[in-house]
Amino acid sequence: MSAETTTAGGASGGPSGGAVPAKGLHAGILDLGDSVMLGLASTAPVYSLAATLGLIVAVNGNYTPLVLVLGFIPVLFIAYAFRELNSAMPDCGTTFTWSRRAFGPWAGWLGGWGVALAGIVVLANLAQVAGQYLWLLIGDGSLAENKVVVTATGVLFIVFMTLVNYRGIRLGEHVQRVLTYVQYVSLGIFALAIIVRIAGGAPEGQAFDFEWFNPAGAFADPFAVVHGALLALFIYWGWDTCLAVNEETENPTTTPGRGAVISAFVLVAIYVSVALLVMMYATVGTEGIGLGNEANQADVFLAMKDVVLGPWGWLIVVAVLASVLSSTQTTILPTARGTLSMGVHGALPPKFGEVHTRNQTPGFSTQVMGAAAVVYYVAMSFLSENLLSDSISAISLFIAFYYALTGFACFWYFRATFRESARNLWFRGILPLLGALILTAAFFISAVQMWDPAYGDTQILGIGGAFVSGVVLLALGVVLAVVCRFLPSTREYFTGKPAAAATAAASA
């Protein structure tokens, strides 16, 4: 039996989280600065903006900055839910652990599956982008169009980052710090160059207008606002990595939660300010470098780089590459720690709960997550790149699912403490519940949109491929949970009763 550490969750006026199993991770090695850095890096802010800003502009036009703020609101509410639950149960299983304590073993298992699923699918996307951007920097860039070369390169990136995470959290933190500096310095140079050009009188630019933040104007088309906010949800996703490394952070009941909330606020400031600069310089027009130009929507920064930076345009390519690589590493972190916790608590076979003695990392879980991402990426790349693209679109379903589940778990777990203080009522009750309800609505609205065969690049039996991919992958979690319900090594997690063989062995 593993040793246990007692949390201090009950001291702040909430139900005690009880004992959190000590898993053998390197406790206390990360501070608040490291936690915030991991939260910022995991969202891949440079790549997220480059790939999503044009899509939001296409739907919302000049109201894009307001939509970015609106998309942030439910994310912030869920960040408070993560913070409060972590204060009571600083377990690296996060949504898995908290949902289990609030709603039981099945909800916990499916919450853990949602986290792992989002990570595996997005790793395929990150690997694809990393492979393409590396070869855009080399030679004439033609190899970025070679599927075999790009896929092989993406696989190598996943393998390398898996190895970094396997070797230790401190090594990963050092690699992460370098990649974070590269992407933010490059983004800063890009933003500064835009400011200089705007100050110099950009001939095709547009002046700032407070109307861009006018809700009345934006909600003249409420469906456009909802669509844009759903797109914005994806670019904020990732800050919860702070919580997944809670057992390796100083003051695990408080520091990870603070890191998550701080990184969420920093992200919205970066996204809105950069979006404003880019809009003022490039405009939302449909010609040239305009953000509304369909030719630029896949990557607005790539379309602007030479105009803004001239011969230094390659810097923005480096920034996106560094952003993608840092997100690759920090995506493996929470997925591996989530399955580690599931193994420790008996929801997965015990092998998943093993921690490498020397490296103090979830060795087996890290290897499995890396291998799963490689298999999924390679299979989808050669089976259908369009289907790969649609499965990536379905990530919003997975994110909304486990974020909403966490919000509901916070509300339900702390329900007895709401009368104790106004703080508890708002941060443990009202805000998490509102966030969960908004994201539940987002889940169903997004699912309805994905049902339309014209939504993505593929259709299956007359239904949008993104919807089919999302539903099939989520349903796979239910199938795996049923399998684990009857496996001797995981049956007790669901029933609370030891397997007959284990009971007989213990009595012998």
Is the confidence at residue 506, as pLDDT, over 80?
no
Over 70: is that where the pLDDT of 10 sits?
no
For 393-439, what is each residue's pLDDT tens digit?
788 889 999 999 999 999 999 999 999 999 999 999 999 999 999 99
pLDDT(9) > 50: no
The backbone torsions φ and ψ at residue 253, rounded to the nearest 5 degrees and listed phi first, read: -80, -15
Give the rounded distance of the alpha carbon of 359 from its chain centre. Answer: 25
pLDDT digits (tens, 9 = 90+) for 152-184: 999 999 999 999 999 999 888 888 889 989 999
The pLDDT score that the predictor gives to residue 223 is 84
pLDDT at 229: 86
pLDDT digit string (tens) for 215-253?
A: 999 999 988 888 888 888 888 998 999 999 999 999 999
Residues with Cβ < 8 Å from 57, sequence gap 6 or more?
64, 279, 284, 291, 292
pLDDT tens per residue across span 354-395? 999 999 999 999 999 999 999 999 988 888 777 777 777 788
Residue pair 456/387 in contact by the 8 Å Cβ criterion: no
Cα 200 to chain centroid distance, Å, stands at 38
pLDDT over 70 at 498, yes or no: no
**Residue 18 pLDDT level (bands cut at 50, 70, 90):** low
Q: What are phi and psi of 19, to 5 degrees?
A: -100, 135
**Which H or E element spans position 6?**
strand 4-6
Q: Could you tell me the two tokens for 97?
A: 């652990």
367 close to 352: Cβ distance less than 8 angstroms:
no
- Tokens at 412, concatenated: 């339900």
- DSSP H helices, 43-137, are 45-60, 64-88, 95-103, 105-136
pLDDT at 468: 87
Residue type present at position 23: K
- Specify the pLDDT at position 16: 52
Q: What average pLDDT does the structure give for the chain? A: 89
- Residue-wise pLDDT for 311-359, tens only, equals 999 999 999 999 999 999 889 999 999 999 999 999 999 999 999 999 9
Identify whether the C-beta of residue 332 lies closer than 8 Å to the C-beta of residue 123: yes
Residue range 129-145: average pLDDT?
89
What b/e sequence results for 93-112 when a residue is b if at least 16 CB atoms lie within 10 Å of its CB, and e otherwise?
bbbbbbbbbbbebbbbbbbb
Reference 493, options 502, 255, 365; nearest CA is 502
DSSP category for residue 459: E
Confidence at residue 282, expressed as pLDDT on a 0 to 100 scale: 92
Position 220 scores a pLDDT of: 92
Q: How far apart are CA 414 and CA 270, in angstroms?
A: 33
Q: Which of 98-107, 153-162, 284-293, 482-491 has the lowest mean pLDDT?
A: 284-293
> pTM, whole model, 2 decimals?
0.91
Tally of residues, the chain:
508
CA distance 351 to 90: 22
For 48-103, what is each residue's pLDDT tens digit? Answer: 898 889 889 989 999 999 999 999 999 999 999 999 999 999 999 999 999 999 99
CB contact set of 297 (below 8 Å; sequence gap of 6+): 54, 55, 58
Q: What's the CA dihedral at 49, 54, 56, 60 to 10 degrees? A: 140
